[in-house]
Amino acid sequence: MSDTADHPQIYLITPPTLDLSTFPDRLAACLDTTDVSCVRLSLASRDEAQIAKAADALREVTHARDVALVIDSHIQLVERLGLDGVHLLDAGRSVKASRKDLGDDAIIGSFCGNSAHAGMTAGELGADYVSFGPVGTTALGSGAIAPLDLFEWWSQMIEVPMVAEGALDVDLIRALTPFTDFFGIGDEIWGSDDAAAALSALVKAMQEA
């Protein structure tokens, strides 16, 4: 993953459950209509066989289009499933060990909530990117949001690329476009009958900012 000189790049996040009879085609439609830099397999399941089956299906779609595929948390599955890296959920605490296990070429990202300190720690330990969120108001989790000034400060002070994710809408995307490197988009589009069109609408808001 790399940052961009013009607009933030798109980082897609899968739903927690997938219908493999339809989702690969929905993902392919998104990748064929929008420039996407990375897809994150983010399943609620802890069934290794189920995760592997989903990873195999999505890897065919993403790698055919030169799009990176990373997985939430499951470090030991990255190499086994031919994935490009891992997205860690522990605010940087396992970045160093993950880098040692996966090597320099793997993508290692770290979700850091709304904590600049956790983000800086993750970056110092070797994370390729950090993600902050949720950006919008949500009843899920603690309800604490990652505020706009966190992204403003990070963009001015820190070189490690950042992802803005969680409860995004067109207004938040317009506000964050000058400051973030990536938008992590998931639930915002998958609930739509036409996910590719929903994604295009969010990208249009980014381009209009």
In a domain, 118, yes or no: yes
Encode pLDDT of 150-200 as tens digits.
999 999 999 999 999 999 999 999 999 999 999 999 999 999 999 999 999
Q: Is the pLDDT of residue 25 over 70?
A: yes
> Is 109 in contact with 86 (CB distance < 8 Å)?
yes
In a domain, 1, yes or no: no
Confidence (pTM):
0.95
Interior/surface letters 89-101, b for 16+ CB within 10 angstroms, e for the rest: bebbebbbebbee
| 64 token code pair | 């055919």
Helix (H) or strand (E) holding 68: strand 68-72
In a domain, 45, yes or no: yes
Domain that holds residue 165: 9-208
In a domain, 54, yes or no: yes
Encode pLDDT of 64-87 as tens digits.
999 999 999 999 999 999 999 999
In a domain, 2, yes or no: no
Under the banding of pLDDT at 50, 70 and 90, the label for residue 140 is confident
In a domain, 193, yes or no: yes
Number of domains composing the chain? 1
Closest CA to 172 of 141, 142, 194, 151: 151
Q: Is the pLDDT of residue 94 over 70?
A: yes
Instruction: State the CATH number of the domain containing residue 15.
Output: 3.20.20.70
Residue 53: Cβ-neighbour burial (10 angstroms; 0-12, 13-18, 19+): middle
The whole-number pLDDT of residue 2 equals: 39
In a domain, 152, yes or no: yes
In a domain, 4, yes or no: no
